[in-house]
Structure 1
């Protein structure tokens, strides 16, 4: 596919399209056709994630930083926020676009109302990311007939919006890429590494902290389980269970707050580090990189790969822990707010893993010009 040809990736949940009887898929075709008749340029939008060409084109454009002609449309629904695949797609794309100063290339369409977007400052990182973008509200339009003048006008306006976004991005892209890919200044690599040196250890500290607090919370939950069993043996009934649940809520207050604080620190740290790591990966592709810089970057990437691996090992444990928290929350309403806080913090770690997985993929698949001893 021509590198200058506009290409889009459609992020949605298959179940939402099934419920809408294929209406979401038809919206892709309507937008593509309207864009082409307006501009005379074909607009290719990848919709079927099972198609191998989706992954191939994604890697080609992301790895080569061909972002000025590449966009993503996210069909946002309540189910979208619960889809780990959709979360990963949007977070990864946004990460690359932001590192090149091209935030507008992520276009969220609010397809149905979602509680995650109601708060001014949502706890969900993905909801925060979407609220910061210039989204399109489709919540009423989706109820319109696809052939109605109102629906056709909305499709037309969306095609105009895409055309404007791509035009602005193509104007900004050379400058953004020159800054992101510049390696003429030998201090560039050193400066980037110096900035990252302090940030990566703080992320590692957060990951270690999650393990410690998780163990503490787990011990309180084990205590509660034992107490409930003893209470049941004494035939204390629901009153006995309620007493244990209230005591558990008091015991969990402090560690859950610390867990949430770690989640905040972790998300903030990744937001700072991510653009720098992506920039270093692009800089490291320079075939004229000096031997000294090559060795320095290689050592840094080894640290990145090690952290990504350690974090990945923790994710299944934390997700299992989150599921256990949901079960505990059924005991008493006094525990539910704490467990919701816990679950949101775990989600931050899972979302963060998507970022680090992309670092790892780029380093390991980047070819001979990406220095890594692995």
Structure 2
């Protein structure tokens, strides 16, 4: 396959396709065929993520400027949003595309789910990202027969939209160097200094997460003791409900703090990510002046340290979120609080996917000055 040929990646959950009796896989073929008959160009879409060629082509495409001819179609369902693998794929692709000003190359299809799955102000970062990408609503169309006029028309519209997006993206893609040009011609070293100031904010957010989750854990421990005492006194379900309601009152403030930290973490990452990716691409330029290259390499050391520190926190936070979900079963008053807590922790997990990508790219760039052990 030629590097300038349009290539797509299909992000979905295997179980959804099994439930649909292979209908999701057949949709890949229908879109590819419709694209070819409309444009005269073949459209290759990678569907089987277990195939080694998926990973090889994925790395080749998102690591280079040919992302302008590369797209991702995400088949969004409730199970999709719960899949860490699917979330990582969407976040990684969107991060690379956005850093080049090519947001349209992520094309989400809302395939199934409740009407409010993507509506409202979402605490779920991936759901919010998908909503911003002008997704296609397929929840009613998927119930149509694949040979029906409605279904065929919808496939045609998807293929047409895809052709328009690819044509537009291939024409407007900026180079890594162009992405760094600003109105006042700020130097590379100055821009790196600004980035270095932003990175510690991520570490501060993670420190805050640790402090607040510790506070929440203490309140939960208190509740466990109180429930034990209530059970000894034959307090029954009424006693447990009373303690749960008291716990909900105690958790209002710390859970609100956790949500604020999650917002700050996500917004800081959104600011830093395009710059990090741009500097990683820029480091591959053999004409980069020695002074600038040295500054970039120093910056990479800070990035790698930040990634490692964050990674250590993820298992702790996910374990805490899992126990919080169990706590949510106690009473109705606990459920919204625990939902907010879990979503806040998910932002850190999603953010780690972004930072892991930084580390991978720096490592594969072969920078000998950065230790990644």
TM-score, structure 2 normalization = 0.95
The answer to whether the aligner puts 1:336 opposite 2:335 as a matched pair is yes
Q: Which residue of 2 aligns with 1:142?
A: 142
Which segment drifts farther, 71-80 or 187-196? Answer: 187-196
- Kept in 2, the 8 Å contact 1:297–1:371? The answer is no
| 1:265-304 to 2 correspondences below 5 Å | 265-304=264-303
Q: CA deviation at 1:296?
A: 2.0
Q: Distance in 2 between matches of 1:198 and 1:114?
A: 42
Change (3 A) 1:371 1:31: farther
| 1:140-219 to 2 correspondences below 5 Å | 140-173=140-173, 175-180=174-179, 188-219=187-218
Listed one character per residue, the Cα deviations across residues 145-198 of structure 1 (whole Å, up to 9, x for unaligned) are 11122211211121111110000001101x355513779x99642133022122
- Kept in 1, the 8 Å contact 2:118–2:131? The answer is no
Q: Distance in 2 between matches of 1:35 and 1:108?
A: 17
- Kept in 1, the 8 Å contact 2:118–2:128? The answer is no
Change (3 A) 1:303 1:254: same
Q: Distance in 2 between matches of 1:337 and 1:113?
A: 20
Q: Distance in 1 between matches of 2:177 and 2:155?
A: 35
* SS, match of residue 67 in structure 1: helix
- Kept in 1, the 8 Å contact 2:74–2:90? The answer is yes
Q: Which residue of 1 aligns with 2:363?
A: 364
Which segment drifts farther, 249-258 or 69-78? Answer: 249-258
Change (3 A) 1:258 1:181: closer
- Give the total of aligned pairs: 371
Q: Distance in 1 between matches of 2:65 and 2:114?
A: 32
Which segment drifts farther, 93-102 or 286-295? Answer: 286-295
| 1:83-162 to 2 correspondences below 5 Å | 83-114=83-114, 117-162=117-162
* SS, match of residue 10 in structure 2: strand
Q: CA deviation at 1:67?
A: 1.2
Q: CA deviation at 1:304?
A: 1.0
The answer to whether the aligner puts 1:40 opposite 2:18 as a matched pair is no
Q: Distance in 1 between matches of 2:26 and 2:115?
A: 26
Q: CA deviation at 1:239?
A: 2.4
Q: Distance in 2 between matches of 1:182 and 1:45?
A: 34
CA RMSD in angstroms, aligned pairs only: 1.9
Structure 1: any 5+ residue segments left out of the alignment?
Answer: none
Change (3 A) 1:115 1:147: closer
- Kept in 2, the 8 Å contact 1:319–1:346? The answer is yes
Structure 2: any 5+ residue segments left out of the alignment?
Answer: none
Q: CA deviation at 1:42?
A: 0.9
Which segment drifts farther, 245-254 or 258-267? Answer: 245-254
* SS, match of residue 289 in structure 1: coil
Listed one character per residue, the Cα deviations across residues 184-214 of structure 1 (whole Å, up to 9, x for unaligned) are x996421330221221111110011111111
- Kept in 1, the 8 Å contact 2:176–2:282? The answer is no
Q: Distance in 2 between matches of 1:253 and 1:187?
A: 44
Q: Distance in 2 between matches of 1:303 and 1:15?
A: 40
* SS, match of residue 284 in structure 2: coil
Q: Distance in 1 between matches of 2:371 and 2:314?
A: 25
- Kept in 2, the 8 Å contact 1:108–1:133? The answer is yes
- Kept in 1, the 8 Å contact 2:73–2:108? The answer is yes
Q: Which residue of 2 aligns with 1:8?
A: 8
Q: Distance in 1 between matches of 2:291 and 2:215?
A: 45
Q: Distance in 1 between matches of 2:19 and 2:80?
A: 13
